[in-house]
Structure 1
Amino acid sequence: MRTKTISSFKNGLIVSCQALKHEPLFGAGHMAAMAAAAEAGGAAAIRANTPRDIEAIKKSCSLLVIGLYKMDYPDSPVYITPTIREAEAIVEAGADLIAVDATRRTRPDGETLSGLLGAIRARWPDRPVVADVSTFEEGAAAMDLGFDLISTTMSGYTPYSPQQEKPDIDLVARLASLGRKPVLAEGRIWTPAQCAACLRAGAHAVVVGTAITRPQEITRKFVNAIRSSVPFA
């Protein structure tokens, strides 16, 4: 089942439909509509945050959902599905795949990444698990642990990973060249050309969020371009 699920979105576009509380489109209804629009446009799958949004999205479209649950803990910088509690909540909401932070950073309550993966496997053995990593070393380690997919989601979001405005295509290429697990390209992908470059680098599929589903950031990009090119009095 895991292999079949993963193969269903090969060479496809996965649209990340997420909005935080301070953003204009925050709310399950908005995210469900966004997911339905993504499906109408040909998306292969959806990535979504929180049980509430996942449940609404599963009702609005027929695509597979990579679920995550962002939660802050005082003793850890890890916030993407940091414990089994968040994993349970998104599985109950209907997530078809589970995405977790697989960086080397300290986890809540001193739990290990291998311990979390083991707990997920014990409870949901047929549910694919995605490792969100920021470096090649983290990706290779996640492969060793037995994650089903490796995603470059966290590149640029840990202090020790490359801080750049463009997608980390080098990371995609290095992880894909190992030939061990499918690699999802994610992070700072703004154009169709960048999507194509990620696939040429060996990505199994490409995840795009902000460039499609966060209109305030899309607008800001246009506004900044205008301000930098037009002299104002």
Structure 2
Amino acid sequence: MTFKNEQYKNAAKELDNPDLDGWEFVVESHGIKIYRFLRQPSGLYEYKVIGVANIKAETCAEVYMDIAYRKTWDSYVKELTYISKANPTVIYWEVDYPWPMSNRDYVFLREMDVCTDGDKKVWTILGRSAKANELSQRQQVDEKKGVIRVRDYEQSMVIRENQNGTSQIFMHYYDDPRGMIPTMVVNWAAKTGVPGFLTTLEEACKIYDKTRNK
């Protein structure tokens, strides 16, 4: 496995015992609390998201992993495709930035582990930027003219089912978009974008469930 067992355990245990030492509370929305931590020397914040979402855990995990479906509900996706479906999956992702900023793209690794916590099922999804020496020649993706490659990206998502059909959620996120964007603007966009993403994800899960039930 690309990600160590200890990384899965550390992510999963933050569902009930989040490590928030030195973290600043940002906002609470729809039962979800968001915290941030200033990472040096970048001057950018990383985020932790903790709370209960009004969606089924299994649906949330499926929607989060389904990159074909994400292209239908995430308006910021310019391109999203598998480079390799072997474990870990290697994914190419281009994000549509508003003019006059350049788009950003990612080549990242992602794995999912499914386990049980007592009588409850837990999905843990880990992702990070791929290093060049981790990719085969066939998996390398040339950089595009006018698109900035993000080389420092980390995201973990832990989802545990609740008996009432809701989900206990923990997410940890950091990304350095590079380029000539003021740090203040990047931090503002992340602060507003994280809760916006969760709201959109929740709506996408509801549509996904309705479509599947039909």
Structure-1-length-normalised TM-score: 0.27
Using CA pairs under 8 Å that are at least 6 residues apart, name the structure with larger relative contact order, 1 or 2: 2
Larger helix percent:
1
Larger strand percent:
2
